Structure 1
Amino acid sequence: MKKHIPNIITLLNLLCGTIAVLFAVKNELETAAIFAFSGIVFDFFDGLAARALKVQSELGVQLDSLADMVTCGVVPGIVMFQLFNLLSDTSFGWGNENWLDKTGFAPLSVFGLFITLASAYRLAKFNIDENQVSSFIGLPTPANTLFILSLPLILSYQRNDLINSIIINKWFLIIITVISCYMLNSKIQLFAFKFKNWQLKGNAVKYFFLLLSLIGIILLKFAAIPLIIIAYVITSLVDGVALKNKKSS
């Protein structure tokens, strides 16, 4: 029975992701974010459960990626699609009014779905890459999803006119989409939150980052999430340089 526990947790991730898709399509982005966040939590614990119970399997690996494709691939793509749709100017001279009459959405909105394509490509590479056991190469899809989903939450709850004007800006969303697609499939090595034990030795960077994230969320609320993801990348790069220097010395 215990061998099925991680897969059940993975399926709960998929269930949350599917519900998030339904709400995202209806443009209820806050509710979609709640279910996607829940799916990401399940995604963390399925691997933890598999390692703790020593029941890792190839089926679990494939199922995990399929669930992530929905929760951390389809959902952020639709959310970005909806954010583009909020813009007042999304035409780029493409006959926006005629397009809107026929489809109900702006043509530029489709650009947000490139996040889904980039996520699919990353997950496919991850499944055949044997070098991503203790660390990640490129930004993990859950981290990217947290970044994207934080944007509508900031709009809804931070109530800061300056920040809102930045987020609801055509060029900002285009740049974020491009960076998102690049980071998902970049060669940048990032540390993974896979705890082999709970001791400080060997986990100092992870504990430091978790503490930093908690402080950021308390002080800045949802606005902290993009900063946490950026800090995650920077911390990984600094840690990588430190490890290289340690090995060479």
Structure 2
Amino acid sequence: MKQHIPNFITLLNLFSGCIAVVFAVLNKLELAALFVFLGIFFDFLDGLAARLLNVRSEIGVQLDSLADMVTSGVVPGIVMFQLLNMSQTGGWGTGLLGSEMALLPFFGFVITLASAYRLAKFNLDENQVSSFTGLPTPANALLILSLPLILFYHSNDALNEIILNEWFLIVLTLLSAFLLNAKIELFALKFKHWGFKGNEVRYLFLIGSLVLLLTLKFLAVPIIIVLYILMSLLAKTS
């Protein structure tokens, strides 16, 4: 029975992603972000449950990637579509099904394609256990989903002008696709034990992230992603 618990949690990730897709299509990006965050929480929880219960199955590995493809691959692509559409229309539209179509917004799905490629490589790579090669799809999803939340909760003319600038969004889409598949080794937040020794980078990152979130709220998310990459590079060279 216990071997099915992590898979059930993974399915909760997928279910959260499906709900997020609906809200993203309807251009209710705040709610889409909420369910992506919930899905990412379940994504973390299923791995933790598998380690605590000492169960691992091939179907669990495949199911985890399929769930991530929806929650952390499809949803960020739709959100970027909506942001690019807003950059063309100059404000909040009626969403994917009701707005006038332009070609540029479809460029946002480059994120979805890059996420699929990254997850396929991950499934074939047996070395990505204590570290990742390239930015994990959940971290990339958090980066993209933070943009509409910044628009909602930190709205000012300067920030809005940057985030809804089509060139900024195009460059961010390309950067996102690159980071997902870059040959950059990044540490994983997987604790083999809870002691500080051997987990220094992980604890410092978590403490720094908490401080940033408490002080900057959603503005902290892009900074945390940059911090994650920089700390991984510094840990690798030290």
| TM-score normalized with structure 2 length | 0.95
Q: Deviations over 1:96-151 (max 9, x none)?
A: xxxx9x98322100000110000000000000011211100000000000000000
Pairwise CA distance, 1:74: 0.2
Using the alignment, how far apart are the partners of 2:207 and 2:87 within structure 1? 36
RMSD over aligned Cα, in angstroms? 1.5
Equivalent residue in structure 2 for 1:183, among 179, 183, 186: 179
Aligned residue in 2 for 1:53: 53
1:65 is aligned with what amino acid?
S
Q: Please state whether the residue corresponding to 1:190 is helix, strand or coil.
A: strand
Equivalent residue in structure 2 for 1:193, among 189, 193, 205: 189
Using the alignment, how far apart are the partners of 2:209 and 2:68 within structure 1? 23
Q: Please state whether the residue corresponding to 2:197 is helix, strand or coil.
A: coil
Aligned residue in 1 for 2:85: 85
Using the alignment, how far apart are the partners of 1:198 and 1:165 within structure 2? 44
Q: Which protein is bigger by CA-based radius of gyration?
A: 1
161-170 vs 9-18, which moves further: 161-170
Aligned residue in 2 for 1:9: 9
Aligned residue in 2 for 1:240: 236
2:65 is aligned with what amino acid?
S
Using the alignment, how far apart are the partners of 1:126 and 1:52 within structure 2? 22
Pairwise CA distance, 1:159: 1.6
Structure 1 outlier segments of 4+, above 6 Å: none
**Structure 1 stretches of 5 or more lacking a match?**
91-99, 243-249
Give 1:2-41 correspondences, 5 Å limit. Answer: 2-41=2-41
Equivalent residue in structure 2 for 1:113, among 92, 109, 112: 109
Pairwise CA distance, 1:158: 0.6
Using the alignment, how far apart are the partners of 2:108 and 2:101 within structure 1? 12
Equivalent residue in structure 2 for 1:122, among 94, 118, 124: 118
Using the alignment, how far apart are the partners of 1:155 and 1:89 within structure 2? 16
Say how many residue pairs are matched: 232
Preserved contact between residue 79 and residue 149 of structure 1 (Cα < 8 Å): yes
Preserved contact between residue 89 and residue 170 of structure 1 (Cα < 8 Å): no
Q: Deviations over 1:219-238 (max 9, x none)?
A: 11100000000110000000
Using the alignment, how far apart are the partners of 2:54 and 2:154 within structure 1? 43
**Structure 2 stretches of 5 or more lacking a match?**
91-95
Q: Please state whether the residue corresponding to 1:86 is helix, strand or coil.
A: helix
